[in-house]
Amino acid sequence: MSSVVEQPLHRALGLTDGEHSRIQTLLGREPNDFELAVFSLLWSEHCGYKHSALLLKRLPSDGERVLQGPGENAGVLDLGDGIAVAFKVESHNHPSAVEPFQGAATGVGGILRDIVAMGARPIALLDGLRFAEPGHAFSRAVGGIGAYGNSVGVPTVGGEAVFDEAYRDNCLVNAMCVGLLPADRLTRAKATAAGHVVVLYGATTGRDGIGGASVLASQELDEGSAEKRPSVQIGDPFTGKKLIEASVELVQSGLVESLQDCGAAGLASSLAEMAADYGIDVHLDRVPLREEGMDPWEVMISESQERMVAIVRPTMLEAVEAVLDRWELHHAAIGEVTSTGDLRACWESEVVGEIPARLLTDECPRYDLLREPRAATPVREILDPPAIADALVALLNSPNLRSRAFVFQRYDQLVGSRTVRRPGLDAAVLRLRPSMRGLAVTLDGQGRIARLDPYLGGAFAVVEAARNVACVGGEPLGFTDCLNFGNPEKPEIGWELSEAIEGMAAACRALALPIVSGNVSLYNETNGRAIHPTPVVGAVGLVPDVRRVPKGWRPGDTIFLAEASSISLAGSEYQALFGETGG
């Protein structure tokens, strides 16, 4: 591992000199190479949220329907009638910039597993895509989403497709998943008692994805990013489908105590989070492998897809293995819960790493960002405005105003037989069988507005999502967010992130609604050029009767415009086409 590059190992792994010193102090010794690799991933921006955690505390997350807020694999809201909804949006931006098909596909796979880890069955997917143009890379990402979602039998019912030069070098691929579960059967990730068995199941483990959380998701891209293709995970949707069904069966049968997705940072992250209150001994030589000659550190941090970790009572182990055998999934009892508080990794009879679990989670650095307001973008007069008819034709030809049917027609929208309202309008609606109630879902963002005013961009994203739910007759219940920004170590980006979160928080307070889950994707820059600050917000809402969902406009309908503020072209498509975005 020390041959990665000719520089100190901690720097090669993405840790600063100060963070390395902090690790030495916390451990009371020099970490070995295995332990340093684990720290580098758990303390990365992707896993540790070290540049955003302090800001995220400003977002309201409490409410009478909240069963689970931020801190777990997904947020959960009570829908009444004994049903709850688990939902979350995640990013897979950096992998998709390097390899659009697999990056987008594994983004879908990862968010599905987050929902399953809460004990829920996924019922819908949404995707928020931002590219420079609807060209090859965009088509590949759409293909990856369709290939995975269609194969696992979960409908893709909504989302966004936005095109802007700001995303030329760094595309955005945000995936949202919604699932249903009994309100009294919520599954969480943490271990609950010493002596329980740790079971890894799903696909085998290889070298794909090693370092993805730090190599790709926690630093800027550059001309050498194509060389990072080995860090992009490879998805297998058919194994993913079996994993979903087996996991749902295990939860419904009461066979598991805790459940965790094995995603970013692999077993290192999954086990650190599960071990937080107790401790876990993991025997890495028991992990089913697909490649020969893997070192212990590679097994620990591999991000091979379609894997889950369950904690089960010893008396339930045989029944758990029977379920996994029936679904033809690889599985192994790889460890046990202890009372030491340590995450201890063994290879055959040797201890290769031993770290107090709380050091990996609770002691992750939290940085207070430097913030420097960016100068306002001046509004420049359009010196030679086009004729109205010409402007209208140009606007209608813009990819941002065309129908998105060429995107969502590649997705299965009806599998599962819940879809009442398909993609293409304000929000999708899914029936909550056997009742006639429905669940409205949407995913929205305001990148151009946030470029002009990050506070308004954050607030507008929340309000737009709530409006879209209302437009299908739904009552908004709560939100999930994905914050896509540039390098937070730059004061200008730190200011954008802080302002956007303040705007979102203000809008949530005004609506008296919580944000119960989310994701932060930073370092969306290439050679110093950052994307537009892009807060994306997903919403769920309750529809009293799906038979009364508006059907859309029909000939003869009267159109009313309801507004609460003056009309402005700031951040509009017209301004982008014929002038410069400003305001």
* Active-site amino acid positions: 46, 92
- Closest by CA position to 138, among listed 89, 178, 190, 173: 173
Contact between 184 and 82 under an 8 Å Cβ cutoff? The reply is yes
* Cα-based angle 303, 129, 413 (whole degrees, multiple of 5): 90
| Cα(298)–Cα(287) distance, integer angstroms | 11
State how far Cα 199 lies from the chain centre.
24
* Position 373, amino acid: P
How many C-beta atoms lie closer than 10 Å to residue 468's C-beta?
23
Query: By three-state DSSP, how is residue 6 classified?
Result: coil
Q: Which residues contact 264 (CB under 8 A, 6 or more apart)?
A: 41, 46, 47, 110, 212, 213, 217, 303
β-partners of residue 156 are: 125
Distance (Å, rounded) from C-alpha 90 to C-alpha 176? Answer: 6
Beta strand 280-283 with 342-347 is parallel
Measured distance CA(578)–CA(381) in Å, rounded = 10
| One-letter amino acid for residue 295 of the chain | D
Residue 535 three-state SS: strand
Are 343 and 267 in contact by the 8 Å Cβ rule? The answer is no
Handedness of CA 266, 272, 273, 274 (dihedral sign): positive
Name the helix (H) or strand (E) containing 156.
strand 156-163
**CB 234 within 8 Å of CB 107:** no
Residue 215 burial (CB count, 10 A): 23
Which residues neighbour 440 within 8 Å (Cβ) at sequence distance 6 or greater? 427, 428, 429, 468, 469, 472, 473, 474, 539, 540, 541, 542, 543
Which residues have CB under 8 Å from 149's CB, separation 6+?
Answer: 108, 125, 155, 156, 411, 412
Give the three-class secondary structure for 180: strand
Backbone angles phi, psi at 317, to 5 degrees: -60, -45
